[in-house]
Amino acid sequence: MLYAGSNTGLLLGVVAPSYWAAAVLLACLQLPQLSPVQASICTSQAGGCFCASDILSCTALDLEQVPREMPVTAVTLDLSHNHINQLKGGAFEGLYRLETLRLAHNQLSVIHHGAFQNASGLLLRHLDLSSNQLHVLKQHYFQELPGLEELLLFNNRIIQVESRALAGLGSLRKAYLSHNRLTHFPFFSIQEHSQPNLTLLDLSSNRLLKLPLEDISNLPVSVQKGLYLHNNSLECECSMYGLFRLWQQREYASVSDFKKEHTCRLYGIQKGTVRFMLHDRYFQKCNLTALREALREQNSSVSVRAGAAKLLPCVTTLTGHSVTFLWVPPNKEYVAPPGNRGSLKMFTNGSLQIVAARAEDSGIYTCIVLDPQQQRNETWDVNVTVVEHHEGEEPFNTGLTTLLGCVVSLVLVLMYLYLTPCRCPPCLKARTPATATLNLANEAGAGNAQSSILTPSPLATTECPGRKVSTNKHVVFLEPIREQQNGRLRA
């Protein structure tokens, strides 16, 4: 093809193409690697964002708002280190595959209603809003994100968390709210039925003054283990000190890993900050025994015989005419007064009665207490175990049976060792050596010295009743008697 023409100039132009032709050729070679949709979105519509597979990175582009048109295939979206100050409604509309969203190091102060609407609410697991300018966490911020597992809100200016701000996050596992300006936190809103997977709540480096002891003791054990409260402005109180000492005895990492960072403020004659996990002399007069009783375990366990009735009280600190009660049995049905299908009866004081316990009634019973006036709620869990029991039969106790068998075996062994039948004749007078030698010689001469002699009883001359002797017959082998004279043996 190159040699078809006779024009030398044309031949040289084909053999040595210009730089523009080389650029076009390179673009043609690279074009099949990207689909037409991806190429157009990444270059023109996203305004300088970088696309790589399902990752869209728009960091440090001085963006003041979220780009309107982004690839719908994006799974990870990074908008950090920009100047975005608000999230408008439908800002992430159409991103149905989004799982990770990073908005750290912006100027966010407002999140409007429906900001995450029509986005991947069930798929979005990681949301980073750290290092922004948020002041209040409102209850509508995260309503469209039921699948969120990790929420980063540290290094903001948060002074308030509304009671239902985290209510819709049923899949939440970790929440970081450290380095803010919180003076209180709605611990009562964290419940096992609303956040069953929550294992880490970081409230360190805030301005918390007092800890609601009852609300914290009602938290699920998994939340208490991962509750970080160091570097706050807590007041030195016996209740606060008893709480952290109890967690230290249980070896919670939130306390043991930050002993030096747990401080409290002293008021009165002595003023200052005390590292109370290292210096406890200020709390020597505290009655820690009473505090441990006040810090009760949330879960209690009861057992009931099959067919019997059982009353389950609902333990709560909420009082008043506006307080309402609700029970959730193991089958996840809601029970309100007067009861449910006759098998469960509920009273106005919140108690629940199991009329006739069955095997399927075993499980966790949760009492939910609501106070709409104070906007507070509490829960109380009871673990019920139904025990099958037949009339006329005692329950089989393997431990007692094993102990009884050991005692019987020990008694039999002692009887065998020390109570063996023994007929011991009285001690006879000891014979003189000469008489014994003469008798032995006569016996040896009467029979073959190498033959066996059967004796019905042992010799009484050598044993007494003090020694244990058997009454059985013995076989005695006697060696030939030899006499010794002048050092020589003589038959």
Asked whether residue 262 falls in the same domain as residue 312, the answer is no
Domain assignment of residue 90, yes or no: yes
Domain assignment of residue 41, yes or no: no
> pLDDT tens-digit profile of 15-57?
344 554 445 344 444 433 433 334 434 543 556 899 898 999 9
Asked whether residue 92 falls in the same domain as residue 113, the answer is yes
Question: Residue 201: which pLDDT band, with cuts at 50, 70 and 90?
Answer: very high
Domain assignment of residue 11, yes or no: no
Question: Residue 370: which pLDDT band, with cuts at 50, 70 and 90?
Answer: confident
Q: What is the mean pLDDT of residues 180-192?
A: 90
Q: What is the mean pLDDT of residues 77-90?
A: 94
Asked whether residue 322 falls in the same domain as residue 224, the answer is no
Asked whether residue 350 falls in the same domain as residue 364, the answer is yes
Q: What is the mean pLDDT of residues 201-220?
A: 90
> pLDDT tens-digit profile of 455-482?
444 444 444 444 444 444 444 444 444 4
Tell whether the model's pLDDT for residue 374 goes beyond 80: no
Lowest mean pLDDT among 186-195, 315-324, 343-352, 402-411: 315-324
Q: What is the mean pLDDT of residues 235-246?
A: 88
Domain assignment of residue 83, yes or no: yes
Asked whether residue 271 falls in the same domain as residue 326, the answer is no
Q: What pLDDT score does 466 carry?
A: 45
Q: What pLDDT score does 226 carry?
A: 95
CATH number for position 313:
2.60.40.10
Question: Residue 100: which pLDDT band, with cuts at 50, 70 and 90?
Answer: very high
Asked whether residue 181 falls in the same domain as residue 284, the answer is yes
Q: What pLDDT score does 381 carry?
A: 82
Question: Residue 110: which pLDDT band, with cuts at 50, 70 and 90?
Answer: very high
d(CA 360, CA 67): 55
According to the per-residue pLDDT averaged within each range, which of 132-146, 318-332, 387-401, 433-447 is highest? 132-146
Which candidate, 317, 323, 418, 330, places its Cα nearest to that of 366? 330
Q: What pLDDT score does 54 carry?
A: 92
Count of domains for the chain: 2
Which one of 330, 358, 389 terminates a domain?
389
Which one of 260, 294, 328 terminates a domain?
294
d(CA 50, CA 32): 18
Q: What pLDDT score does 420 carry?
A: 60
Tell whether the model's pLDDT for residue 134 goes beyond 70: yes
Domain assignment of residue 454, yes or no: no
Asked whether residue 275 falls in the same domain as residue 303, the answer is no
Q: Confirm if 100 and 77 have CB atoms less than 8 A apart.
A: yes
Asked whether residue 276 falls in the same domain as residue 316, the answer is no
Of residues 140 and 36, more confidence is placed in: 140
Q: What pLDDT score does 297 carry?
A: 47
> pLDDT tens-digit profile of 297-312?
444 677 888 888 888 8
Asked whether residue 307 falls in the same domain as residue 286, the answer is no
Of residues 174 and 318, more confidence is placed in: 174
Q: Name 339's bridge partners.
A: 345
Asked whether residue 304 falls in the same domain as residue 271, the answer is no
> pLDDT tens-digit profile of 391-443?
444 445 556 777 888 888 888 888 887 776 655 555 555 455 444 444 544 44
Which one of 235, 261, 294 terminates a domain?
294
Q: What is the mean pLDDT of residues 140-155?
A: 93
Q: Confirm if 98 and 75 have CB atoms less than 8 A apart.
A: yes
Asked whether residue 267 falls in the same domain as residue 122, the answer is yes
Question: Residue 221: which pLDDT band, with cuts at 50, 70 and 90?
Answer: confident
Q: What pLDDT score does 293 carry?
A: 56
Give the mean pLDDT of the chain: 76
Domain assignment of residue 19, yes or no: no
Lowest mean pLDDT among 64-68, 75-79, 235-239, 449-453: 449-453
Question: Residue 483: which pLDDT band, with cuts at 50, 70 and 90?
Answer: very low
Q: What pLDDT score does 390 carry?
A: 52
Query: How much is the CA Rg of the chain, to the nearest whole Å?
Result: 45
Domain assignment of residue 184, yes or no: yes
Q: What percent of the chain has pLDDT over 90?
A: 29
Tell whether the model's pLDDT for residue 120 goes beyond 90: no
d(CA 358, CA 385): 10
Asked whether residue 285 falls in the same domain as residue 187, the answer is yes
Q: What pLDDT score does 464 carry?
A: 46
Domain assignment of residue 54, yes or no: yes
Q: What is the mean pLDDT of residues 56-77?
A: 92
Tell whether the model's pLDDT for residue 199 goes beyond 60: yes
CATH number for position 234:
3.80.10.10
Boundaries of domain holding 238: 46-294
Of residues 352 and 272, more confidence is placed in: 352
